[in-house]
Amino acid sequence: MATGGGDVIGDVVTWLTDPSHWTDTRFDTGIITQLLAHVRFCAMALLIALAIALPLGLFIGHTDRGRWLVAAANALRALPTVGVLVLLTVIISPQFQGRTDTGFLIPTVIVLVLLAVPPILANTFAGVQNVDPGVRDAASGMGMTGSQVLFRVELPISLPLIFSGVRSAALQLIATATVASYLPLGGLGRFIYDGLAQQDYPQMIGGGVLVAALALLTDLVLATVQRYVVSRGITGRYANERTAVPDSRLAVLPEAEVARG
């Protein structure tokens, strides 16, 4: 079974291009259904995380109160995601025995939200904190109220950093939603874990290809949105300078980002 070399790649291509693997059959769930399930978990978790982290980050950055929350959220990163997922599943799933897969869905979404909050919160906070004090003073001097300064000055200037936080969060969500298939739950990870269990390596590697493709495509879409949402006055694209496109690696380094100002 364990063969290396070119024939494996050929088998993976065969697996991926077989139309019967894309649609649901009586016995198997197809790629399209699993893809939609995967995207659904991630979108749900990302929306909840945004609803929590964005206002909180703006508030903490603007008022400079509750910095410890950012530090606490960052400390969450040391938690092993798989472990927390299993722990919550063991606690929550018995409450939903016999009914659909809610017992696995709830712990998964909680873990995904826990994962997505820290990068968005830290980057929103860092973005607002990084705003040049002179710009902030000028805005107040023009007679803007506190909330006008926040929403018309600080928020637009913070957008590049906020976006890199959101992109980093989205990537981690896609990665971790894959691991969630380790529980009996849908998503693209299903192919990886089922392929492994059945020693069907083309299916396992094909699943890996699909997850990687979804991650790359998502990042591309978010990068494109970022291009149109962020003001050109901020990205410096008017000046045709070296276009420093923030990527997901910068999002995990908010402290270094702050230090460089």
Report the interface residues with other proteins, using CB under 8 A: 1-6, 8-9, 12, 77-84, 86-87, 89-91, 94, 171, 174-175, 178-179, 182, 189, 192-193, 196, 201, 204-205, 207-209, 211-212, 215-216, 219, 247-250, 252-253, 255-256, 259-260
Q: Which is nearer to other proteins, 151 or 201 (CB)?
A: 201
Structure token digits, residue 32: 């399209």
Q: Which is nearer to other proteins, 93 or 158 (CB)?
A: 93
What minimum distance in Å lies between the beta carbon of 26 and other proteins?
Answer: 27
Comparing CA positions, the residue from 99, 114, 116, 138 lying closest to residue 50 is 116
Q: Which is nearer to other proteins, 55 or 83 (CB)?
A: 83
Q: Which is nearer to other proteins, 6 or 19 (CB)?
A: 6
What minimum distance in Å lies between the beta carbon of 76 and other proteins?
Answer: 10
What minimum distance in Å lies between the beta carbon of 194 and other proteins?
Answer: 12
Q: How many CA atoms lie within 13 A of 119 on its CB side?
A: 24
What minimum distance in Å lies between the beta carbon of 11 and other proteins?
Answer: 9
CA dihedral 235→238→241→244, nearest 10 degrees, is 20
Residue with tokens 């530090």: 71
**Alpha helices, H only, 76-154:** 81-92, 102-129, 133-141, 146-148
Comparing CA positions, the residue from 136, 144, 152, 124 lying closest to residue 257 is 124
Q: Which is nearer to other proteins, 69 or 84 (CB)?
A: 84
What minimum distance in Å lies between the beta carbon of 91 and other proteins?
Answer: 7
What minimum distance in Å lies between the beta carbon of 226 and other proteins?
Answer: 14
DSSP states along 5-58: SHHHHHHHHHHHH-GGGTS--SSS--HHHHHHHHHHHHHHHHHHHHHHHHHHHH
Q: Which is nearer to other proteins, 144 or 253 (CB)?
A: 253
Q: Which is nearer to other proteins, 36 or 216 (CB)?
A: 216
What minimum distance in Å lies between the beta carbon of 124 and other proteins?
Answer: 18
Burial 109-134 (b: 16+ CB within 10 A, else e): bbbbbbbbbbbbbbbbbbbbbbbeee
